Amino acid sequence: MEPFLKGRWKWLTVVGMLMFFLTGCSSNIKAGVLNPQGPVAQKQYDLIMWSIILMSVILVVVFTLFVVILIKYRARPENEGYEPPDQEGNRLLEVVWTMIPVIIVIALAVPTVTTTFDLEKSPSPDKEPITIEAESAQWKWIFKYPVQGIETVNYVKIPANVPVRFQLESHDAMNSFWVPELGGQEYTMAKMPMYLWLEADKPGTYLGRGANFTGRDFAKMEFTVEAEKPSDFDDWVKQVKETAPAQSKEEFEKLLEPGTVGRMTFSSYPEDEKKDSSDHGHGHGSSKEHHESNSH
Amino acid sequence: MDLFDMKMPDQLIVWGNPLINGAWISIILVTLGIVFVLTKYKKWRWLWDEWLTTVDHKKIGIMYIVSALLMLFRGGVDALLMRIQLALPNLEFLDAQHYNEIFTTHGTVMIIFMAMPFLIGLMNVAVPLQIGARDVAFPTLNAISFWLFFAGALLFNLSFVIGGSPDAGWTNYVPLAGEELTPGIGINYYLWGLQISGIGTLATGINFLVTILKMRAPGMTLMRMPMFTWSTLITSVIIVFAFPVLTVALALLTFDRLLGAHFFTIDGGGMPMMWANLFWIWGHPEVYIVILPAFGIFSEVISTFARKRLFGYSAMVVSIVAISALSFLVWVHHFFTMGNGPWINSVFSITTMAIAIPTGVKVFNWLFTMYKGRIEFTTPMLWSLAFIPNFIIGGVTGVMLASAPADYQYHNSYFLISHFHYVLIGGTVFGCLAGLYYWWPKMFGFKINERISKWAFWVFVIGFNMTFIPMYLVGLKGMPRRIYTYREGLGWTGLNFIETVGTFVMGAGFVLLVWAIIYSIRHAKRDYESDPWNGRTLEWAIASPPPHYNFARVPRITGQDPLWRAKKKGETIFEEKTPLKPIHMPNHTGIPAVMAGFWFVAGFGFVFEWIPVGLAGILGVLLCMMWRSLTDYHDHHEVPVTELRDAAAEEIKNAGGRSARGVVNDG
């Protein structure tokens, strides 16, 4: 047993060095989820950090107990004849370690519930939001601006500092609309529109992608979210309206065929693809009525 | 549709990809090799009589474990292939289709054909012995369960060489997995492979539920049962409630694909999200089906090698029961991002977090079982000890995932992947291996070599952490699961490369483990010790390997840890004065294997949508059932008293107590 124990310490050192190496490797960890660039991502980031703090407490307590008990009560030649006591349990201790996780769960559950309800609402209720329809198809992202009447593919421009209500839908397989630096994801589902609020604090380009597997070229379903100053955004819309081609119904249907495409911009999209702009009210709730009325 | 239209898929025999060609060649060579060895050493008869027709729970358990180890190898190779592909950006080692098939089969094989059969194998080996029973309640049904699992696994594994593998993920979400978006037969393999083995699992659940409730030895009250038996009982209850949901969900999707129904289609009034609900109403309890038995194993092993009774036994029991109840109340957390509304997400966040409470209680009880103990670092104990820190890492990240708004950021990312590998490897796989090492001497009469096994342990555990710690980080950097390649400049490369290296280290650990087993089979001293670990429970009171009837005399139980009490307090388990009586035992029968063969034919026919072949298989199954019901009055034999004497003497020597004229083993 003894030489083996020596071996164990050696290995522990190796593991320790590995961990060090790993943390060294991830010096630019501030990307993606841990680099929030808008109020939604910030709320989620705060919740994540709070949960990491709570969980660290558990890790420290359990790891310490684990190491101390293993070292102190390991079998050694000196304690050869030692007969461990016949303990049935300890009511007080058991109550204590039932209460510890209860407290931690409450400490996490409260902000979880409040944030869940917060994220249903516009992150900046005092500002006028814009709506963009984000639609997934195999294997591209289509963005329609119902008010502006324009359409982009595989990129989306948004005004910075303006809450954006993304209305999500899919033309085929279920995908998930995810822009880690602006906020968490929501599924896109066929005939079941849902919405997701996002907002960028400042102009910049943020990487988004489909997160839910949809088949062959799923890995290529990347898009960029390009936040610009509201005035620049308005100029861009005007420019698109003037210079970009219109999209015919045939072109739109061709776009929906399975395959990948590059970035595209259209000054309009086919009329019957425009949803009636009446709000479904409870986008997060998967409006069943809507679903049924649509399937006739 | 035309009933007799036996249409051929585009590619019946998959050929062309060098990896799959290699698989074909190795399948043919291994098959020829097995046939050659069996013929040369005239072992066909032995194989049929001793194994294929057996209804002995211990042998069935061994067959489960051997199959599970093979599946661990297969799923592990899948993992290595995926990790090679993702080691660096833009690699073209696998194309998208092949990668998608591999991650689908990796997940399905590991959960359905590795983790569950491994644990069910260990239950088969240990549970009847732990409760003092001579077999399970329905021995033939037990064999049917095994052979259904085997037929399902065989069918599923054929997919990559015949006709093409499923490629919609192990969760098989519709509409992607529907006929419209994924035509072809791959998904059919998934549906039928799982359906056939799932029916077997359901029968196992019923079997062990009845066995534990009805076949305990006198004095073995519920609250005196060993913790592994308790966890098996609760697991069986979960199986009985959860598996019918899977059966129905698979059947509905089969109707969609085979008969053109519209349960889950986008058009025609179908409801794709119903699949996600049904799948996870089964799928989340399934997670506990593969973790609770592991908890039971850790309880046995930790108590044995700390030389101390399990701390807080009744709290442990209450915790398992609480976990099993909660396991049915959390399924929505698999799709917080499906627009459920804030109330539903809040409720399911809280129920999910609540699971941390009974689980936390268990962890502290394990720690305090070791407190003031005398901890011996045998290999089964090492796997159990490694479980605690690794599982805790998986557990706390699970609580983080339970917080719905935060989950919007973790969902579908490598953070999630790492979480469930920490609980499924750190919990289930470590538990399977701890159980394998622990009960190996009971199954075969010798231990697995400790020196090689400890190397295997350290290499595997280090490789495991090297693989999965970077996965948490790369997930937070926005890397989603199930992508077959990624581009440069995302900051993912270094972490992915470490993961790949770690996977190979794990693979080396597995090779060492296999080597330890082969080395021990060839060289280990056969000491046939009844009680090699100085155990506490009933299985260690009888010979190793145990006779097929297990107990010559029915044991009498006076408390928890009966063998420990016999050794320490001289309590009597086997009363020498009780006269030996002939034992009624079930006969061997070929029906289970033949019936599973017909299931295989049926499954194969329906996979290819060859309805007549499928129906012929079903007819065969029905004929087997009829045959069985007409012959079941002649399916047992008596073991005469003269055959019981040696086993009875062994029992008296080990646990005859003070009454056995001073032959007390002082431990």
Over residues B486-503, the pLDDT tens digits come to: 999 999 999 999 999 999
Mutate to test the interface with B, among A2, A4, A14, A26 (most CBs of B within 10 A): A26
Q: Within 13 Å of residue A249, how many CA atoms lie on the same side as its CB?
A: 4
B11 in any annotated domain = no
What is the band of B636 on the pLDDT scale with cuts at 50, 70, 90? confident
Same domain, A140 and A210: yes
- Identify the three-state secondary structure at position B282: helix
- CA distances B521 to B44, B510, B514, B516, Å, are 21, 17, 11, 9
pLDDT at B504 over 50: yes
Return d(Cα B351, Cα B612) in angstroms, integer.
47
* pLDDT at site A290: 40
Are A149 and A50 found together in one domain? no
What's the structural domain count of chain A?
2
A267 and A238, same structural domain? yes
Query: Is A69 inside a domain boundary?
Result: yes
Q: What is the pLDDT of residues B552-575, one digit of tens each?
A: 999 999 999 999 999 988 889 998
Structure tokens at A184: 């968490």
Spatial CB neighbours of A100, under 8 Å, sequence gap ≥ 6:
A58, A61, B360
d(CA B20, CA B51): 31
pLDDT in tens, B440-455: 999 999 999 999 999 9
> What was the pLDDT predicted at A81?
85
Q: In angstroms, what separates the C-alpha of B87 from chain A's closest C-alpha?
A: 15
Would B396 be classed as within a structural domain?
Answer: yes
- Is the distance from CB of B320 to CB of B298 less than 8 angstroms? no
CATH number of the domain at A57, please.
1.10.287.90
Q: What is the ipTM of this complex?
A: 0.92
- CA atoms within 13 Å, Cβ hemisphere of B621: 19
Dist. CA B559–CA B556, nearest whole Å: 10
pLDDT of residue B246: 97
Whole-angstrom distance, CA of residue B613 vs CA of residue B259: 16
Q: Is residue B630 part of a domain?
A: no
The residue of chain A nearest to residue B389, with distances taken between CA atoms, is A63
Residue B356 to residue A105, Cβ atoms within 8 A: yes
In the predicted structure, residue B58 carries a pLDDT above the cut 80: yes
Q: What is the arithmetic mean of pLDDT over B408-437?
A: 97
Chain B environment of A37 (Cβ under 8 Å): none
Q: Determine whether the interchain pair B374/A84 forms a contact, defined as Cβ–Cβ distance below 8 Å.
A: yes
Q: Which residues of B583-600 are buried (b: 16+ CB within 10 A; e: fewer)?
A: bebbebbebbbbbbbbbb
Same domain, A155 and A241: yes
Q: Do A184 and B491 touch (CB under 8 A)?
A: no
Cβ distance of A87 and B308 shorter than 8 Å: yes
End-to-end distance of chain B based on CA atoms, in angstroms? 71
- pLDDT band, very low/low/confident/very high, at B12 (cuts 50, 70, 90): confident
Residues A225-270: tens digit of each pLDDT: 999 999 999 999 999 999 999 999 999 999 999 999 999 999 999 9
Residue A74 DSSP class? B
Q: Do A90 and B403 touch (CB under 8 A)?
A: no
Mean pLDDT of all residues in B36-62: 93
Residues A194 and A259 in one domain: yes
Percent of chain B with pLDDT over 70: 98
Nearest to B637 by CA among B55, B50, B141, B46: B55
Contact call for residues B324 and A267 (beta carbons, < 8 A): no
Sheet bearing A183-188, strands edge to edge: A155-159, A222-228, A204-210, A175-179, A183-188
B131 versus A88: which is more confidently predicted? B131
**Interchain CB contacts (distance < 8 Å): A and B:** 312
Instruction: Let me know: does A116 contact B349? Beta carbons within 8 Å.
Output: yes
Model pTM above 0.80: yes
In 3D, which of B219, B60, B234, B211 has the Cα closest to residue B133?
Answer: B211
Counting runs of H as helices and runs of E as strands, what totals does chain A give? 6, 11
Judge: B337–A283 Cβ closer than 8 Å, yes or no.
no
Residue B497 lies in a domain: yes
Identify the CA nearest to B655 among candidates B560, B596, B567, B586.
B567
Query: According to the model, what pLDDT value does residue B635 have?
Result: 79
Stronger pLDDT, A291 or B128, i.e. the higher one: B128
Q: In whole angstroms, what is the distance from residue B12 CA to residue B334 CA?
A: 35
Q: Kindly identify which residue of chain B lies nearest to residue A66, measuring between CA atoms.
A: B367
- Give me B429's structure tokens: 């796989």
Tokens coding B314: 């009744």
Sign of CA dihedral B491, B494, B499, B504: positive
The answer to whether B63 touches B55, Cβ cutoff 8 Å, is: no
- Domain range spanning residue A44? 31-75+89-120
Do the strands A222-228 and A155-159 form a parallel or antiparallel pair, or are they unpaired? Answer: parallel
How many domains are there within chain B? 1
Mean of per-residue pLDDT scores for chain A: 86
CATH value at residue B495: 1.20.210.10
Residues of chain B in contact with residue A107, where contact means CB-CB under 8 angstroms, are none
Q: Report how far residue A260's alpha carbon sits from residue B260's, in angstroms, rounded to the nearest whole number.
A: 29
- Note down the domain range covering B501: 42-589+635-655
pLDDT computed for residue B14 by the predictor: 81
CATH number (domain holding residue A210): 2.60.40.420
In a domain, residue B255? The reply is: yes
DSSP-assigned letter for residue B579: P
pLDDT tens string, chain A, 296 residues long: the values are 444 444 556 566 666 666 655 554 444 556 799 999 999 999 999 999 999 999 999 999 999 999 999 999 999 998 888 889 888 888 898 899 899 999 999 999 999 999 999 999 999 999 999 999 999 999 999 999 999 999 999 999 999 999 999 999 999 999 999 999 999 999 999 999 999 999 999 999 999 999 999 999 999 999 999 999 999 999 999 999 999 999 999 999 999 999 999 999 999 999 765 554 444 433 443 433 343 333 33
CB contact under 8 A, A19 and B411: no
- Contact: B341, A109; criterion CB under 8 Å: no
A64: CB partners within 8 A, 6+ apart = none
Per-residue model confidence (pLDDT) at position B157 = 94
**C-beta atoms of A33 and B400 within 8 A:** no
| Contact residues for B372 (Cβ-Cβ < 8 A; gap 6+) | A73, A84, A85, A87, B308
Q: Residues, chain B, total?
A: 667
- Does A279 map to a domain? no
Neighboring chain B residues of A68 at a CB cutoff of 8 Å: none
Which residue on chain B is closest to A89 by alpha carbon?
Answer: B312
Q: What are phi and psi of B308, to 5 degrees?
A: -145, 145
pLDDT bracket for residue B660 (50, 70, 90): low
Residue B624 domain-assigned (yes or no): no
Whole-number pLDDT of residue A80: 87
Q: How confident is the model at residue B512 (pLDDT cuts 50, 70, 90)?
A: very high
Mutate to test the interface with A, among B101, B367, B408, B484 (most CBs of A within 10 A): B408
pLDDT band at B195 (very low <50, low <70, confident <90, very high): very high
- Token code pair at residue A52: 């990491």
| Chain B: closest CA distance from residue A89 (Å) | 4
- Whether residues A255 and A150 share a domain: the answer is yes
Q: Tell me: pLDDT of B657 over 90.
A: no
* High-pLDDT (> 90) share of chain B, %: 86
The H-assigned helical ranges of B327-378 are 342-354, 356-370
Dist. CA B637–CA B584, nearest whole Å: 6
CB atoms near residue A265 (< 10 Å): 18
Residue of B nearest to A186 (CA): B337
Residue B36 lies in a domain: no
Q: Per the domain annotation, does B10 fall within a domain?
A: no
Average pLDDT in the B640-664 region? 78
Preferred mutation among B343, B409, B458, B476 to probe A, highest tally of A CBs within 10 A: B409
- A152 plus A267 within the same structural domain: yes
Establish whether the linkage from the previous residue to B545 is cis, with ω within 30° of 0: yes
Of A90, A108, A118, the CB nearest to B353: A108
Nearest CB partner across the interface for B412, out of A31, A176, A282: A176
Report which DSSP code applies to B13: B
Which residues does chain A have within 8 Å of residue B272's beta carbon, measured at their own beta carbons? 174, 189-190
Closest Cα in chain B to A63: B389
Distance from C-alpha of B6 to C-alpha of B611, rounded to nearest angstrom: 8
The predicted structure's pLDDT at residue A24: 47
CA–CA distance from A27 to each of A185, B443, B491 (Å)? 25, 50, 10
The string of pLDDT tens digits covering residues B77-100 is 999 999 999 999 999 999 999 999
Is position A139 within any domain?
Answer: yes
